[in-house]
Structure 1
Amino acid sequence: MSHPVTFCSQEMLEQGERLLRDLPVDVYSTVPPGGGSTIGQHMRHMLDHYQSLMNAEHGRVDYDVRHRGSAIETDIGKARELIADLLSWVRALDDEALSQAIVVRSEVSLCRTVCAEVGSTIGRELMFLSSHMVHHQAIVALIARALSVPVEPGLGLAPATRSYLRAVG
């Protein structure tokens, strides 16, 4: 059985894959009523973060590396291919890989350009990525519903929320 951290990332990525499989192609890059980001832009953002971790060079992750305007934002097929690659990578991670020390770099100020670096592990960052993805999936669910497109029940619900809902029946 896979580690709980990799299992959660697999679940999140598989949920994204199901969304894209079932989503009408034209909806993927449609701006929602009232403006804002498209489902494709949110998907690209989520997958950028996973790619940053997967492609970390010399033990360094930079979540500010983004691929804005890339084909991932407009081409469901490309997004699905990337999800498949990310799933293969996540499934191959073992306990040793998850405990690998890394340095995470990110901008940390809204009013000026300030970057910080902190220590972490691949496993801890996968936990972050799952949490980050579930919140964007919640936004994606709202966008889809605004465009009159049904989505999988529970899309965008965090693991703890799902546990709570199971407990209260």
Structure 2
Amino acid sequence: MTSCHSRPSPDTARLVEENLLTLAQLRRMVAALAPERYRQAFGEHGRHTLGKHVRHIIDHYDALLDGLERGEEVIDYEQRRRDEALEQWPQQAASHLAGIQSRLSALDGEPWSAALTLAYPLDDEALSLASSLARELAFLTSHSIHHMAIIALLAEQSGIHLPESFGVHPSTLRHWQRAPEEPAPPSRRSA
């Protein structure tokens, strides 16, 4: 996209920052994993792995950023790459996440309020929904955090310890920082 519109406002630039922080947290976790842990199957049918959730997050960022780089005004998250190597090899995924962070950082001069259209599949047709870069960045933060919360649950089952803040939305982290500490519950005593 060309940067013929005004530069981003401080509020919308914060959306890029939230995405960068979210991806940095995910990248640190992925980079520290052995491939066996990254590919470990969970669930009755073995469909869930840490890697599949990471790849899914990557796919969404790529769909948006690829579309922007091609100058497209329609964003279609259904047309994802689904690169299986990114769900098999944590170092490759970590490297790809670093690339996404660089691409997001380069959005500094993009037209934040320029009209985008989101293609949303519904049965055999796609709805065309009005959107903007700022709206899609807000979506990507929430979408990533949602999958990171699932990743945290799977990691816990595998004995992987993650920070308490992993998979917690930035708005919740801000709430935790503002909230006064609650008193500890009284200890139970046996009668």
TM-score with structure 2 setting the length: 0.80
Equivalent residues, number = 166
> 1:64 offset after TM fit, Å?
0.4
Name structure 2 gaps, 5 residues minimum: 1-9, 182-191
* 1:7 matches 2:17: yes
1:20-169 equivalences under 5 Å are 20-32=30-42, 34=44, 35-56=46-67, 57=70, 58-68=72-82, 70-94=84-108, 96-108=110-122, 112-168=123-179, 169=181
Name the larger-Rg structure: 2
The DSSP-based 3-state class of the residue aligned with 2:160 is coil
Runs of 4+ in 1 over 3 A off after TM superposition: 33-36
After superposition, give the CA deviation of every residue in 1:48-98 in whole Å (9 maximum; x if it has no partner).
Answer: 010000011421211001333621110112211211111011111125432
The DSSP-based 3-state class of the residue aligned with 1:15 is helix
Following the alignment from structure 1 to structure 2, what is the Cα–Cα distance between the partners of residues 97 and 17?
A: 27
Contact 2:31 2:91 in 1 (8 A): no
Name structure 1 gaps, 5 residues minimum: none
Following the alignment from structure 1 to structure 2, what is the Cα–Cα distance between the partners of residues 153 and 129?
A: 21
Question: Among the aligned pairs, what percent are the same residue?
Answer: 29
Following the alignment from structure 1 to structure 2, what is the Cα–Cα distance between the partners of residues 96 and 76?
A: 31
